[in-house]
A and B are shown apart, each in its own frame.
Chain A
Amino acid sequence: MMEQEQERLLDEATAVVKEQAFYMKRAIDNENIRDALKHASNMICELRTSLLSPKNYYDLYMQVFQELQHLAGFFTERQRHSRKMSDLYESVQHAGNILPRLYLLITVGASYIKSKEAPAKDILKDMTELCKGVQHPMRGLFLRYYLTQMCKDKLPDTGSEYESEEGGSVNDAFDFLLTNFTEATRLWARIQHSGSAKERQRRERERHDLRVLVGANLVRLSQLEGMTRDFYADVALPKILEEMASTKDTMAQQYLLDCIIQVFSDECHLRTLDQFLSACMRVLPSVDLKPILVNLMKRLANFVSANPDAVPEGVDIFGLFRRHLNELIDRPVPAPPPATAPGATAINGPTDRGSQVDPSGLLELQVAFLTFTLTLYPERVDYVDLILGSTVTLLSRIYGSPSGPGVATNGKDKEASGGGGEGGPKRKLEGKGVDSVVELLATPLKSLSLSILEMDHYTNLMKFLNFRTRKQVAISMVRTVLAAGTPLDEPDAVQRFFSFITPLIRDEEDSPLDEEVDAEEFASEQQQVCRLIHAIRHDDTDQVFAMYTTARNAFGKGGPRRMVHTLPPTVAAALQLIPRIQQREIDAASGIEGVAPPSYTLKKVFQFVHRTCTELVSCAPEVALRLFLQAAVMANKCDAINPGSFEPICYEFVTQALVCYEEELSDSRAQFQGILMMVGTLSSHVTCLEPDNYDTLAANITQHGAKLLKKPDQCRAILVCSHLFWNNPLRRNPQRVLECLQKALKIADVAIQSSPAHVALFVEILDKYIYYYEQENHHITVSYISHLMELCNEQVTYADEDSMTEPRKNFNATLNYLKKKKAQLPPDAKYAELDLDKLSTSTLNNGVGS
């Protein structure tokens, strides 16, 4: 019906109600009971309409109700109407029309009870019975609503003034409310069968609107003083549930279950949890149990966390929920459902949507259950595992077993894997359910942290996810561990942890191709992953090393693009562990109490480092070279403490660095840096090598320096190589130093032919000569310096302006340095023979060559 039409009808009815109410009240003022009843009856007649929508009918009802309160007030004032209540009660029953008759009967009846001139229970029973006369659903519902509204404070409830031998007890109060509840529920459920099939949808919508009239009865029941927990459990709830079941109506069952949860107290629910949940399992399959159970869990979580002692003895909340939820999961996958009532979607067991079975409703329920469980039992890792296990069972039934053979499996890799890389369900979960599974996996991390590693079903659950989602879960796991600063302190746990984060660790069948990966995002993920190495901590070096090995083995499967990120920190961490192991070896050897020799010896760790670096050689040669050298330095340190024992290891590492240089470094800049690093390490940090070994390495490096592609690089490399023959006092060779410098000079000579800018090389060579001269290398004499100065001066003067600023500045700085040496008091005798004066004019005037 049109909105306007409704409005007009309501306006007309309202006008009549107002008018009749006016006369009714005037009659009351005149204490004319006959007229008051007449006008009241006329007014109530407006409620006989069948044309108003439920909301508009309620509007009209409220007006009538409000006006009838004046009449009710009048009835209770005996002295004003001076009638016996029983007479009044009798007389109103003569009204011609049944609806006004019953409204008036109730109005009088309520006052009758209040007068206590007759037992409350008898009047209540009588009215309840008479109300059966109205069987039109909407009119009947409102009439019963009026009945309970008028009588709710006049029931012979426990402790009420109407409770007595004759007046009745809480049982009578309960019977009254229950009967009215039952009648209301039936009237309400019947609406769906009235009228034509065409109007079904509108009827169902109206029925939905009317539901509060049914729920109000449950509210009244819950408000009874006599509604003790026992009474609720033994009498009330069974009756209510029986009525609920007997409706055989989706909307009714759905609504009543929701109401029961909302209107009765938490104490009551705890007492009857099994009873209630069992009833839930028996409702029509079209009832959506999800919101109902979610509400129940929310309520109980709030209540029990505030009142932990309120849980009755012997009530296993977790166990009860689990048992009943599993019952839902175990239900057979249904055939496509018949058309259900609007607004009702079944989440009662897996549902079938077209050809796809949709577990999302049940998954959401599992999420709610998990949240609930973590609130009530924050420590129970085993509970979480059970929930995840049920979820795996659910998904297995739809997507296939997570451990079964997958589509494209080679079946070789038997290692624990968190991913869908090999084996696993045939299809991956998609759509709405995905978020729920991510939540199931992520939520425990928030409070349980690493203890989830003890769970069996975590990995299985992940297998139902596609790569993106698995990675999402993996990243959140890594972040959580890092953020919480949780130490990774148990080899098994680390093993597991790495299997959980497999999507970050290595490529899987369904990993995206290289070109689909965002490089920046990938790098940032890998950096997160390698921070895990630093989370590995333990007092026992064996344990630490075992965990490093686990990590390394996992990283080793990551392919070059991951290893570049993950292996270097692993090597660095292993090297840092070495001093601790050596100390332990020493302590154990000297018999310090409680110190056992390590099972993972220094040698084993060096092997580990060697192997790991070797893996990096092809994919990150520069990094590998640096790490080999760092390892050599560490071996050298060990050898210093335990002389002779680590020389071969040290030699091997430097050799490997050299091999790496030879075989993998092709870029000239990288080669030059490589030479610098090798020289730096060997000349300044490695002291343990056998003379032959040292000399071989030094000679090799120098040869490589001389073979660099660019002349200036050659020149500078040779200059640096000179330190190989000087810095180590045991292997000092002044003659070789000089040869290096001379060789450098020769190269510079060639270089400058191609570009005068290379004059900078001469200045650098000069500085090196001065250095060794001052270091008292007797093969270097002041005449070399003098000669070189002239050469530099010449070059600096005649070269063109632009490229000369730097070298000239450097040269002047050197000149000034030497001048200072000569000018100081007493003058530096070393430079007595040096004549700087002849240089000064041309250079210091800064002129443009004359």
Chain B
Amino acid sequence: MASRKRVLLKVIILGDSGVGKTSLMNQYVNKKFTNQYKATIGADFLTKEVMIDDKLVTLQIWDTAGQERFQSLGVAFYRGADCCVLVFDLTNPKSFENLDSWREEFLVQACPRDPDNFPFVVLGNKLDAEGQRKVSHARASTWCKTKCSIPFFETSAKTAENVEDAFTEIARRALKQEHTDDQIYLPETLTLNANQPTVQQPTGGCC
């Protein structure tokens, strides 16, 4: 049986609103940056094809709204993530302090099979605004070390500094995770001659 050629990796970006999640994704996928601020509503993704160690993968990157009120349908999109990116703003200590709760929230909602070894990556964004930095490199990397050595990058969505490197690492981690997660499901009705399974009649009214 030939394996599907394509690997689809799902990555979730979380963090307070305004830290630059949308900007990072746009910089990475579209190589664009804007100073304009437009709030994200709900969750949305962009895809990008990348080569990771000679393997072609499709990254499906989910950008999310940092504000609860823009997430009225819940966070079902966390499910099936292969890597979670936690973003904070280097010039905003509060956004750094909230990383813990974002991480918790993700683990609770996404229910990864092995929460202790689920891959996270932390990005300290707005590196270009070095003058207004409020969270030191040491402070952030110490926190990351205490959380099972989460890789930590300082990035700028504005200048693109470190963005490529960070996402390559994210993709690599996601790929590793996908290998451990994949191909576990076996339907109960699976038989050697691949009989058509019984399909449940959908409930409810007409369309």
CB within 8 Å for A19 and B187 given contacts A49-B202, A58-B76: yes
Contact pick for A23, options B1, B4, B5, B197, CB 8 Å:
B197
Tell whether A266 pairs with B73 under 8 Å between CB atoms, given A22-B187, A73-B6: no
> How many A residues face the partner with a CB closer than 8 A?
65
Task: Decide if B148 is an interface residue (CB 8 Å cutoff).
Answer: no
Residues facing A in B30-54 (CB within 8 A) are 36-42, 44, 46-47
Inter-chain CA distance A16–B197, complex, in Å, is 10
- Which A residues between 200 and 229 are near B, CB-CB below 8 angstroms? 208-213, 215-216, 218-219, 222-223
Residue of A nearest to B3 (CB): A29
- Minimal Cβ-Cβ distance residue in B for A134: B207
How many Å from the CB of B193 to the closest CB on chain A? 13
Separation in Å of the B1 CB from the closest CB of chain A?
A: 6
Q: B164-207: which have CB < 8 Å to A?
A: 185-190, 194, 197, 199-200, 202-207
Q: Does B60 contact A (CB under 8 A)?
A: yes
Within the assembled complex, what's the spacing in Å between the Cα atoms of A22 and B186?
8
Render B2-18 as a binary contact track against A, CB cut-off 8 A, 1 for contact. 11111010100000000
With contacts A46-B202, A216-B41, A262-B39 taken as known, whether A19 is within 8 angstroms of B189 at the C-beta atoms is yes
Q: Are A222 and B4 in contact (CB under 8 A)?
A: no
Asked if A210 and B73 sit within 8 Å, CB to CB, the answer is yes
Contacts of A149 in B (CB 8 A): 44
Tell me whether A63 and B79 are in contact in the complex, defined as CB-CB below 8 angstroms, given that A19-B197, A29-B4, A58-B73 are known contacts: yes
Q: Judging by beta carbons under 8 Å apart, are B70 and A212 in contact?
A: yes
Q: Please indicate the chain B residues that have their CB under 8 angstroms from the CB of A210 in the complex.
A: 72-73
CB atoms of B72 and A208 under 8 A apart: yes
A451 within 8 A of B: no
Contact call B36/A263, Cβ cutoff below 8 A: no
B77 on the interface (CB 8 Å rule)?
yes
In the bound complex, CA of A98 to CA of B207 (Å): 7
A70 adjacent to chain B (CB < 8 Å): yes
Contact B1 A218 (CB under 8 A): no
- Residues from chain A with a CB closer than 8 A to the CB of B70 are 212, 215, 262
CA distance A73 to B5 in the complex (A): 10
- The minimal Cβ–Cβ distance linking B107 to chain A, given in whole angstroms, is 18
Shortest Cβ distance from residue A141 to the other chain B in the assembled complex, whole angstroms = 10
State in angstroms the CA–CA spacing of A45 and B194 once bound together: 21
Would you call B112 an interface residue if the criterion is a C-beta within 8 Å of the partner chain's C-beta atoms? no
In B56-99, which residues have CB < 8 Å from any A CB? Answer: 58, 60, 70-74, 76-77, 79-80
B1 touches A26 (CB 8 A): yes
Contact yes or no, B2 A30, CB < 8 A: yes
The CA-CA distance from A54 to B6 in the complex, in Å, is 32
CA distance A166 to B202 in the complex (A): 41
Chain A, range 157-216, C-beta contacts under 8 Å to B: 208-213, 215-216
The 8 listed contacts between A and B (C-beta, < 8 Å) are A45-B199, A58-B76, A59-B74, A59-B76, A62-B77, A66-B10, A211-B72, A262-B38
Which are the 5 A-B pairs with shortest beta-carbon distances? A50-B204, A262-B39, A265-B36, A212-B42, A59-B76
Interface residues of A (CB under 8 A from B): 9, 12, 16, 18-20, 22-23, 25-26, 28-31, 42, 45-46, 48-51, 54-55, 58-59, 61-63, 66, 69-70, 73, 77, 80, 97-99, 133-134, 136, 139, 149, 152-153, 208-213, 215-216, 218-219, 222-223, 259, 262-267, 299, 303
Query: Which residues of B are at the interface with A, using a C-beta cutoff of 8 A?
Result: 1-6, 8, 10, 36-42, 44, 46-47, 58, 60, 70-74, 76-77, 79-80, 185-190, 194, 197, 199-200, 202-207
